[in-house]
């Protein structure tokens, strides 16, 4: 009997990764790329070649087909069995790999695609850890600089570091945390085996292993701690030349993470290529409908607006491709509707300062800002206001959620004042900058200069804006700068 042959058509482009030996490595380190055939179109990596080809399943099944059936196919497999299996494969891949613009339009499509998945996994880690914190009434620790830190802080940095290093080992990472606090905690607990298993390091290891793309079965304490240190302050030394690297804020708004569902926190990741921000992803698991902005996002869509009170949001931007958002799913299910529901986002159209919606850092007051001598503030949007009063949105916590609000059209202005000796971190702004700019807004310091991410030539960790940071919809940016410059309080 002749062996059965089936024509398969691939109507989509996808990277099909087949694990060989080590499930946690890729690109010559354990993963191989293989072709998928469907109705005569072959997809290999990102390159599609239209061509008719037959696959003989009885002979030597390809690794791609091995995914569809755990056992070796019979000599003459019934044709009716394969379409359903292939459809399941196609649905899963399309749901999890698509971005809202084609690869040929985005030079860094592959990096952004991988980063979106990494950030979403990190957001799930946050959701899982937060649930455990609430049930156990909180595991809250203090870092040496007295800011609160959780398993999620370290876990997110380790997870994203591992995911990115697996795919892009040549691109360094600049991130907020290092493992020194964890290592000291681990050393003090090693004497007691039971306590060591329940140590902070053990909790981080469990959180990372439970959310890694490869299952994390081979992860050890040293692997996780090393992944955290890959983004630490002594991990890499840059120079004066433009550099390529990732910038990560594992959790911007840690206090918001700890305070409950009414407060925001963001996982923020940006890609810098030769000194320019080219892509960014912000994940906000508890993004809710803002009563001051109505019950929907300010995103352009012919469909219904996104209701994010249950799913949070993922926002992405790529240079030249705009800013987009969709729901965040806190489960690992294959919900094609969620993964395919990208909506393009834009800043608001406000063109009058007194009509703008402002947000400021949680640690600063309106009275400490130069505009306070010209405008009073209210948090009541329904109140009767004159031309000398603005709306101040109560938004907590961190800086990136303010960028997210401006990029989505919920706020018009984010105003931050730098301290006398500025300690503004690059990861608090990098991803927000590209999301706002691609949404039509503008980001500068208080003198109208672009924020220089390379000002810290060695570590790329600190920026030095003159006066502070101004994030706007672009329409009233120049007017705000002029108002600030006319104030004697500008340093």
How confident is the model over 284-309, as a mean pLDDT? 46
Catalytic residue among 153, 178, 348, 445: 153
Lowest mean pLDDT across 1-10, 73-82, 230-239: 1-10
pLDDT at 259: 72
**304-328 core/surface letters (b: 16 or more CB in 10 A; e: else):** eebebeebbbbbbbbbebbbbbbbb
Q: Is there a catalytic annotation at residue 153? A: yes
pLDDT at 241: 87
How confident is the model over 85-96, as a mean pLDDT? 38
Residue 224, both tokens: 């996780």
Give tens-digit pLDDT for 24-74.
433 333 333 333 333 333 333 333 333 333 333 334 444 444 444 444 444
CA 380 to chain centre: 32
How confident is the model over 252-257, as a mean pLDDT? 80
pLDDT at 5: 37
13: confidence class by pLDDT, cuts 50, 70, 90: very low
252 is in an annotated binding site: yes
Q: Is there a catalytic annotation at residue 91? A: no
Sequence ranges of the domains in the chain? 5-97, 353-485
Q: What is the rounded distance in angstroms from the CA atom of residue 419 to the CA atom of residue 363?
A: 11
Predicted structure pTM score = 0.74
- Which of these CATH numbers, 3.30.450.270, 2.60.40.1180, 3.40.50.720, 3.40.190.80, describes 353-485? 3.40.190.80
142: confidence class by pLDDT, cuts 50, 70, 90: low
394: confidence class by pLDDT, cuts 50, 70, 90: confident
129: confidence class by pLDDT, cuts 50, 70, 90: confident
Catalytic residue among 25, 178, 229, 254: 254
392: confidence class by pLDDT, cuts 50, 70, 90: very high
318: confidence class by pLDDT, cuts 50, 70, 90: very high
Provide the 10 A C-beta neighbour count for residue 152.
Answer: 30
428 is in an annotated binding site: yes
Provide the 3-class DSSP secondary structure of residue 118.
helix
């Amino acid at each position: 009997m002749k062996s059965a042959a089936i024509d398969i058509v691939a109507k989509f482009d996808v990277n099909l990764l087949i694990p060989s030996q080590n499930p946690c490595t890729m690109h010559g380190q354990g993963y191989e790329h293989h072709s998928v055939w469907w109705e005569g179109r072959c997809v290999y990596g990102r390159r599609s070649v239209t061509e008719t080809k037959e696959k003989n399943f009885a002979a030597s099944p390809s690794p791609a087909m091995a995914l569809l059936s755990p056992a070796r196919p019979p000599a003459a497999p019934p044709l009716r069995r394969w379409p359903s299996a292939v459809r399941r494969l196609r649905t899963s891949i399309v749901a999890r790999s698509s971005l809202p613009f084609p690869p040929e339009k985005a030079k860094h499509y592959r990096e952004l695609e991988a980063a979106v998945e990494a950030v979403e996994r990190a957001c799930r880690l946050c959701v899982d850890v937060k649930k455990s914190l609430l049930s156990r009434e909180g595991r809250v620790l203090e870092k040496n600089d007295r800011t609160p830190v959780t398993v999620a802080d370290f876990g997110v940095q380790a997870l994203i570091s591992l995911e990115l290093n697996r795919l892009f080992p040549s691109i360094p990472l600049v991130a907020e945390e290092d493992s020194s606090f964890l290592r000291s905690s681990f050393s003090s607990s090693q004497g007691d085996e039971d306590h060591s298993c329940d140590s902070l390091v053990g909790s981080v290891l469990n959180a990372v292993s439970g959310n890694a793309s490869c299952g994390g079965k081979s992860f050890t304490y040293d692997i996780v701690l090393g992944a955290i240190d890959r983004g630490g302050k002594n991990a890499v030394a840059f120079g004066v030349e433009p550099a390529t690297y990732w910038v990560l804020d594992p959790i911007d708004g840690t206090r918001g993470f700890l305070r409950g569902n009414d407060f925001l926190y963001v996982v923020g990741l940006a890609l810098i290529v030769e000194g320019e921000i080219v892509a960014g992803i912000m994940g906000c698991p508890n993004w809710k409908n803002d009563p001051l902005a109505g019950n929907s996002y300010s995103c352009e869509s012919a469909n219904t607006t996104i209701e994010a009170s249950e799913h949070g949001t993922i926002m992405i931007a790529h240079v030249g491709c705009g800013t987009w958002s969709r729901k965040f799913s806190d489960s690992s299910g294959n919900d094609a509707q969620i993964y395919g529901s990208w909506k393009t986002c834009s800043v608001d159209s406000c063109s009058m300062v007194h009509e703008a919606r402002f947000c400021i850092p949680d640690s600063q007051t309106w009275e400490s800002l130069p505009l306070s001598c010209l405008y009073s503030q209210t948090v009541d949007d329904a109140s009767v206001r004159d031309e000398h009063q603005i709306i101040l949105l109560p938004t907590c916590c961190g800086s990136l959620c303010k960028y997210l609000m401006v990029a989505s059209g919920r706020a018009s202005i984010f105003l931050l004042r730098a301290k006398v000796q500025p300690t503004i971190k690059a990861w608090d702004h990098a991803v927000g900058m590209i999301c706002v700019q691609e949404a039509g807004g503008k980001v500068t310091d208080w003198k109208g200069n672009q924020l220089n991410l390379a000002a810290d030539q060695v570590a790329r960790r600190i920026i030095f804006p003159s006066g502070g940071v101004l994030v706007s919809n672009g329409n009233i940016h120049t007017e705000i700068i002029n108002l600030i410059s006319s104030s004697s309080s500008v340093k």
